[in-house]
Amino acid sequence: MKAWKHFCTITRHRLLVMKYCFKIGLYRQGLTHDLSKYSPAEFVPGCRYYQGYRSPNNAERESRGYSSAWLHHKGRNKHHYEYWIDYSLQAGGELAGMKMPAKYVAEMMMDRIAASRIYKGDAYNQHHPLAYYEQGKEAYVIHEETKALLEYLLRMLSRQGEAKTLAYIRRNLVGKKEYPNLKKKRGN
């Protein structure tokens, strides 16, 4: 029974991300989003730790001290900022976030909206993705420009809603090599 429920949850999530990606013009990313969740390395722990109201990765982490499914997932999906963590070229060579390409930041936003919708259900509102981000942002190892863009988009979603945020992403991120200039747009 957990296997079927987990399958349904990840499939609903994938389809919702696909719908959002299509709205902003990320067709290929929409079609390929999170396919690794169906691999045995991710699907089996997902079934074992399935709860329905949060990611099974958190339950696996609590039980084992780490999440094997998450370690597999983040290393194969470029829309997670954790994929972009590498050793810094600065003195000391500590771990640092690398700047994510704009199209993956856009997909990350679609992923965050969809995940919040799936886990919050009917209680979802446009403030949930920002609230979830705010809970853990102090521990994130993320490039400063990527962080600024992500926070800008999450605040835009919270203040202006989905329609305006998706239109902004489609116009200013999809198909662009560089991030939009956020300094002149700080009013959002």
Task: Tell me the domain boundaries of the chain.
Answer: 84-185
Residues facing 97 on adjacent strands: 85
Give the Cα separation of 86 and 9 in Å (integer). Answer: 31
Q: What pLDDT is recorded for position 71?
A: 97
Q: What pLDDT is recorded for position 143?
A: 97
| pLDDT tens sequence across 69-95 | 999 999 999 999 999 999 998 878 899
Residues facing 96 on adjacent strands: 86
Q: What pLDDT is recorded for position 184?
A: 60
Residues facing 87 on adjacent strands: 95
Q: Which residues of 1-11 are buried (b: 16+ CB within 10 A; e: fewer)?
A: eeeeebbebbe
Single out the residue of 87, 95, 157 nearest to residue 126, CA to CA: 157
Looking up tokens 């990350």, which residue turns up?
108
Q: What pLDDT is recorded for position 91?
A: 73
Q: What pLDDT is recorded for position 33?
A: 98
184 three-class SS: helix
Measure Cα distances from 157 to 13, 133, 162, 163, 171 in Å.
Answer: 19, 13, 6, 9, 15
Q: What are phi and psi of 35, to 5 degrees?
A: -60, -25
Q: What pLDDT is recorded for position 39?
A: 98
For residue 43, the number of C-alpha atoms closer than 13 Å in the C-beta half-sphere is 14
Give the Cα separation of 12 and 91 in Å (integer). Answer: 45
Please list the ranges in the chain whose pLDDT falls under 50.
none
Looking up tokens 């000391």, which residue turns up?
92
